[in-house]
Structure 1
């Protein structure tokens, strides 16, 4: 039974890794787009509202897809002044509690409230209010839902791994 849970955790981790890779590609695209946009504006006095909005969209994608990736790699915000002093067993309990009491409930709230927000945007075929701006604003809004579903899944994976490490610590103590 343990192997099935660890396999699920592995699949979730690989999904977060793929999302992080997409976020990394978005950062490269963003950097290239900024260079192009700045060059066009300052060298040729030509600007584009759509390009500027695309910069914001790429930044959003980079940030949102990086959430689960950061959690997977333990690069998230934490009060390390206390955490570093905890025993390995206590660290695992803190991880479990954090995932179950904070990350997953927050993720569920964001998904819940973003759903109608995104659906309404889709049904209205919302676009930019600026002339020359991008259409289909619901696409970028849907990334909020995708990102927080990935974050919830990664929190589940972290919980599975923490429970596994706790079991190993307990078996090590019993041996």
Structure 2
């Protein structure tokens, strides 16, 4: 494989590994918000922002962590036949299936960018009583989808390298 592909894989994998390792601590932020929500409902006036903020944090958690999940190959897979195949056969099948992922991510990214542009242009807010601005969570959404797109490209390069018999180091 040309050095540019190896460099791309190394850079994207390294970046997504760092982002994923940082984002995984977001679960503690989510736990803190939900703990505060429970405490505020029983001890003092309920906070109106906690449920929606927990949803925003969870969206950022799984969208920004999605590329790291792809990298670790920890997503859900039907393993009826796949586990018995040779690495080369797995790579060929993965090349085909990742092309379908590209189509899905393209439309997701297209919708995310247009939705983010709308939120920024019109200062879109949520319809809840808290009424937070939607742009920050939509920006995080677009970044997460873009990182998944980059990681899927990295995986495609690695699978092609295995399929042609020259796996990357």
Please, what TM-score do these two structures have when normalized by structure 2? 0.89
Shift of 1:97: 1.2
CA pair 22-126 structure 1, distance change in 2 beyond 3 A: farther
Q: Which ranges of structure 2 fall in alignment gaps of 5 or more residues?
A: none
Q: Secondary structure at the match of 1:78?
A: coil
Shift of 1:93: 0.4
2:135 equivalent in structure 1: 138
Q: Which ranges of structure 1 fall in alignment gaps of 5 or more residues?
A: 171-175
CA pair 123-169 structure 1, distance change in 2 beyond 3 A: closer
2:17 equivalent in structure 1: 17
Structure 1 segment 85-100 matched on structure 2, within 5 A? 85-100=84-99
Aligned length: 167
How much is the aligned-residue C-alpha RMSD, in angstroms?
A: 1.8
Larger radius of gyration: 1
Q: 1:109 aligns with which of 101, 107, 110?
A: 107
Structure 1 segment 62-101 matched on structure 2, within 5 A? 62-100=61-99
Q: Is the 8 A contact 1:89 1:169 kept in 2?
A: no
Distance 1:72 1:134 in 2: 36
1:50 equivalent in structure 2: 49
More helix by share: 1
2:30 equivalent in structure 1: 30
Distance 1:36 1:50 in 2: 11
1:173 equivalent in structure 2: none
Distance 1:2 1:49 in 2: 54
Q: Secondary structure at the match of 1:75?
A: coil
Please, what TM-score do these two structures have when normalized by structure 1? 0.87
Q: Is the 8 A contact 2:69 2:75 kept in 1?
A: yes
Distance 2:163 2:118 in 1: 44
Question: After TM superposition, what 4+ stretches of structure 1 lie above 4 angstroms from structure 2?
Answer: none
Shift of 1:19: 2.6
